[in-house]
Amino acid sequence: MKSETLAPLPAIFVRDAAEEDFAAIQGIYADEVLRGLATFEEVPPTASELLLRRNAVLDLGLPYLVAEQDGTVVGYSYAALYRARPAYRYTLEDSVYVAEAARGHGVGGALLSVLIDRCETGPWRQMIAVIGHSGNSGSIALHRRFGFSDIGTHPAVGFKLGRWVDTVLMQRSLGVGHRHTPTDEADSSSG
């Protein structure tokens, strides 16, 4: 019997998202909004709204990335502040979305790896993953591979697609984490 040779998958290229990527980003996200449980949004935002959200992320100095294969955007990720109150200023929340056809082929790992690396160059010390649906084994395994630990589950906090949905919380340190007290630019410039 002759063994089959599988064609190699195209390389994954992770880069900063550009304005022209937002039609593809909107398509990936709209699919999850309408059919998935990774987000609790129920009405897909427009590409223009997603671009405004990206600009808010960039205004904070945080990364907003896309993954390309053969010139096609197959996923995206970004970091945002975990909460708006000032004491959370060193804690981020990550978001990773991969087109359904590209899942299981390393796209999520490529995006999360670059996202973490980029966030570790800033002042941030912790990253939280808020994973929609406790049955989302792919996202949970992805985050574990990158050093996230389970910190809890909020059972039945969302109702979407006719069912109650949990959120799984996971966390990892960025850089030195909480081993050292951060110094704010405002603190250092006031002395």
When pLDDT is cut at 50, 70 and 90, the band that residue 189 belongs to is very low
Question: 9 with 70: CB under 8 angstroms?
Answer: no
**Does residue 187 surpass a pLDDT of 60?**
no
Q: What is the per-residue pLDDT across 88-99, written as a single tens digit (0 to 9) for each?
A: 999 999 999 999
Q: What is the per-residue pLDDT across 52-95, written as a single tens digit (0 to 9) for each?
A: 999 999 999 999 999 999 999 999 999 999 999 999 999 999 99
Q: What is this structure's pTM?
A: 0.90
When pLDDT is cut at 50, 70 and 90, the band that residue 10 belongs to is confident
